[in-house]
Amino acid sequence: MRKLKVERVELSLLKLPYVHFFETSFGREEEREFILVKIYSDGICGYGEVVSEKSPLFSYETTSTAWHILKDFLIPIVLDKSISDPHDFYREAKKYRGHPMAKAGCELALWDL
């Protein structure tokens, strides 16, 4: 992988309606909410998805907590930095406990570059 200079990172909160509702003992869901991470470098955009849910029914991580962790802790690791490998990001990000979905969204966007 070539050395990348991360110029910009964008987070988008997206909601997609299900074709058919999804129902469990926890309740019924009509749409899926998730965070799309876009990382820009040298005119290229890499995409990553944070798969956390709106409510902490499955995991402690939610779209709200993931947004906070990305914005305040993970994005500063890569923004305006040169990265030669997505593992560089992970080596820095592992100092923050937990939040594997937020970390994965950022890492996936780096791999996509």
pLDDT in tens, 26-67: 788 889 899 999 999 999 999 999 999 888 877 899 999 999
pLDDT of residue 43: 92
- In which band, very low, low, confident or very high, does the pLDDT at 3 lie, cut at 50, 70 and 90? confident
Superfamily holding 4-112: Enolase-like, N-terminal domain (3.30.390.10)
Residue ranges per domain, the chain? 4-112
Q: In whole angstroms, give the CA distance from residue 111 to residue 105.
A: 10
At 44 the pLDDT is: 94
